[in-house]
Structure 1
Amino acid sequence: METMKVLVREVDMEKDLPAVEELERRCQVGLSGDMAAVHDHAVDDDVDGDGKNTSKKKTKTKKKKTGMSLCVEQIGDPLARVRHAPDHVMLVAEYGDDEEKKNIVGVIKACVKTVSRGGKQHKPFVKVAYLLGLRVSPSHRRLGIGTALVRRAEEWCSARGAEHATMATTASNAASLALFTGRNFGYAPFRHPEFIGRPVHAGHRLPIPSRHRVFHLPPELAAAAYSRILPPHAAEFLPSDLPSLLSHKLTLGTFVAVLGESFAILSVWDSTRSMSMRVDGAPAMLRAALAAARAIDRGAPWLRVPSIRDIFRPFGAYLMYGLRMYGPDGPALLRSLCHHAHNVARRNPACAVVAADLSPDDPAAAAVPRWRRFSCDEDVWCIKRLNAGAGDGGDGDDWEAEAAAGSVLFVDPREF
């Protein structure tokens, strides 16, 4: 096998789609760090790091008993996470020395977007490459395939003017971090967003105080509101096409709550069509207890038993983004908006979780209701300067070395 060659090329959707889907199925993905197998921390390409997802790698080491884990699977359009960007690509890696017997053993997606840097920059928006969905077949790891895919993706993005490249994984995914932060690529850990989730109640609405007035903004008004309260110098990774995101068919709405001089705002994205989750490793007693709670709630709804939808089968999520709050009553108003998003999610039987992705030092993070089982604070975003000579000369400093004081992290739900 070591004498065989790796060919990295752009995907042919008509010809390659079945093989890509099979590869995705073989590479189990999840949000939490506990695994069904012990990692051997290989530093080459024993890695499936992408976005918020931590790959679950099976090795030859012995298995260990683990707890619950939240697993994620992309469904539908395989290019859904990058298709919205004008420049996007999916690359596949073929392995073998016989043209008729070559197999697709790796895949990576990438896109180039124009986003804000935050802070008082000479050039507030820059082109940034996003590397997503790196997968390497479990039977073909530590052969340089992951390295070849990342290198080709970087070259593709660099040719389209990307000045920085980013990737994301979790702190427990040592193999992914080793691949990207090692000497071959030199990425630096950069930001640590926190995934905050809460399950949807099966039978009951969450209360919203009557004095908290909630308004649904049309996309045009929502874009105008965000341009005032979240300008480019106040946010990192704010997409330049924010109006398109706010008017996207999967953005269910932008909502504002007002009380006196205080207000809060957030938008809701429906990811149930593109992403499926499930909870693995739950004890039988917990499964039975939650099933019993749902049965009691259905039979006697007046008891208002706190039951949640079945989370042990595939389910979808609504993602809240653009969360901001102002004034002394801002935190309470933001909690009410989160309750409103939950109540909207109740109308969709496929949705079992409402979640948000925020920087842990963002004041809004403390106001978002959460459930520990559906929250994760292990996310790591990494970044590096891709085109050292790019830019206009006034923006040549290292983004990763800046604290971006006062800037908030904008997490685009389209990349989740």
Structure 2
Amino acid sequence: MMMGVPIKVREVEMERDLAAVEELERRCQVGISGDQNQGSVADADGGGDKKKKSKKKKMSLCVEQIGDPLARVRHAPEHVMLVAEYGEKMVGMIKACIKMVSLPNSSSTKPSPPSSATSSSSLSSSSSSSPEQQQQEEEEPYVKVAYLLGLRVSPSHRRKGIGAALVQAAEEWSRARGAARATMATTASNKASLALFVGRFGYSPFRRPVFLGRPVHARRLPIPAGHRVFHLQPPLAAAAYARHFPPEETEFLPADLPALLNHKLTLGTFLAVEAAESSPAASDSSFAMLSVWDSTRALRMRVEGAPGLLRAGLAAVRELDRRAPWMRVPSVPDVFRPFGAYLLYGVRMAGPRGPALLRSLCRHAHNVARENPACAVVAADLSPDDPAAAAVPRWRRFSCDEDVWCIKDLDGNGDWPAPPAPAPGTVLFVDPREF
């Protein structure tokens, strides 16, 4: 209640609410995590402008969603957008989706998900499985997890309990659909968001992925002659990931990974080996692999707060490259205007030459990105203790270590009072669909 006027939370009606949703998104600019506010402009509701800032340069890398408001959750069979109304005015919203993902350290014994070839109807007959099959399913480390995304509160209606009402409604929606855990993402400097989710709703900081970005240069980047890059078709890519991302050793691996690899926005899965290897299957000692996701149609980034000298310098380099292309100056696009990005996911390497092969794969992804005029940055989200993070090229001004993932037990059975530390060798899988 606000001054006798009730706050009403309901599901969105897109035909009726689209204009109001887009206006609220416009007024609540967001940062790389795309969900919460930070700094003095934030409040306990967690809505408003969020920017990831370089501590020294005071530059901000901002993200704004474009196109389909449900793009980040629509891929999940169970998803929702809730809006909050104050009187007749829309003043807040939140999105949620539910997925089966791997949580190796979870003691929850949820059934394993069906493979890509299993229909939903087969789930109804799972009770006829043999005891051995049922035991195998119970041992699979997959859990039904809710993702809370895109919390927004109108700047004129903050600190009035709207954000709390939206989070509570999203949790109730998720709990009713059997979600055992709920997750959200914010930044370490976003005190208001942490106060809301951690302080009020009992979420626990869980993981701290690092965002590694690199601008797309005007020139192709050479790949060493001793390295070969293979483009894997989705079935082969799924088999490779099943081998190198086993769910018992991977956090947040989506059960529908084959669908992700076959998604129209996944531009390809690539494997790099040394040229001496005769085929991808022979690359057991050293290899690198990753997939490329085209996010240019779903979001735009922009850099704010850049010093004038930097802006002028990069503009001068672009002009020099335009006038004298024979000099092959490594100019970069104008990142001070809205631009798109390609996201690298499923990043994996192994063997003594794995880092070098991964750098070659990142160069290959860069060259793929050059073909899209809307793409100005190639980026990846990785766990900081993942060896691959040290091998992924990045530009400091497009990288950030501020992200905080938080998680909460929703089923209330007391078997998971606090998120455990990752086991040695556990890999974090960041799904680009929730970026």
> What is the TM-score of this pair, normalised by structure 2?
0.86
Which of 97, 100, 109 in structure 2 is aligned with 1:111? 97
Deviation at 1:268, TM superposition (A): 0.2
Q: Which residue number in structure 1 is paired with residue 399 of structure 2? A: 375
Is 2:136 the partner of 1:137? no
- Offset at 1:408? 0.8
- Aligned pairs (5 A) from 1:277-356: 277-356=301-380
Structure 1 stretch displaced more, 325-334 or 1-10: 1-10
Conservation of the 8 A alpha-carbon contact between 2:344 and 2:380: yes
Q: Report the equivalent of 1:228.
A: 243
Root-mean-square deviation (CA), in Å? 2.1
Distance 1:55 1:38, change over 3 A: closer
Tell me, yes or no, if the aligned pair for 1:115 and 1:238 is still in contact at 8 Å: yes
Give the drift of 1:287: 1.4
The aligned counterpart of 1:272 is: 296
For 1:374 and 1:285, locate their aligned partners in 2 and report how far apart those are by CA, in whole Å. Answer: 18
Equivalence map 1:40-119=2 (5 Å)? 42=43, 44-45=44-45, 47-48=46-47, 55=50, 67-96=58-87, 102-118=88-104
Return the offset for 1:306.
1.6
Between Structure 1 and Structure 2, the one with more helix by share is 2
Whether 2:403 is the aligned partner of 1:386: answer: no
3-state DSSP of counterpart to 2:40 = coil
Unaligned 5+ residue runs, structure 2?
108-138, 278-284
Residues in 2 aligned to 1:28 and 1:40: alpha-carbon distance in whole angstroms: 11
Query: Is the contact between residue 116 and residue 240 of structure 1 (CA under 8 Å) also seen in structure 2?
Result: yes
CA deviations on 1:241-263 (whole Å, 9 max, x unpaired) are: 00000000000000000125311
Residue number in structure 1 paired with 2:215: 199
Q: Which runs of 4+ in 1 moved over 6 A?
A: none
8 Å contact from structure 1 (residues 197, 374) kept in 2:
yes
Letter paired with 2:301: M
Taking structure 1 as reference, are residues 11 and 349 closer, same or farther at Cα in structure 2, changes over 3 Å only? same
What's the TM-score once normalised by structure 1's chain length? 0.90
- Aligned residue in 1 for 2:118: none
Q: CA deviation at 1:399?
A: 6.0
Shift of 1:120: 9.0
Cα deviation for residue 280 of structure 1 reads 1.0
Percent identical: 72
Question: What is the CA distance between 1:30 and its match in structure 2?
Answer: 2.2
In 1, Cα distance between the equivalents of 2:84 and 2:183? 21
Structure 1 position 173 matched with structure 2 position 159:
no
Contact 1:256 1:337 (C-alpha < 8 Å) held by counterparts: yes
Query: How many residues get paired?
Result: 389
Structure 1 spans left out of the alignment, 5+ residues: 58-64, 97-101, 391-395
Match of 1:241 in 2: 256
Alpha-carbon distance in 1 for matches of 2:315, 2:352? 40
Q: CA deviation at 1:227?
A: 0.5
| Aligned counterpart, 1:60 | none
- What amino acid is aligned across from residue 50 of structure 2 in structure 1? S
Q: CA deviation at 1:298?
A: 1.8
Distance 1:66 1:362, change over 3 A: closer
Judged with a 3 Å threshold, the aligned counterparts in structure 2 of structure 1 residues 142 and 222 are, in CA distance, closer, same or farther, namely: same
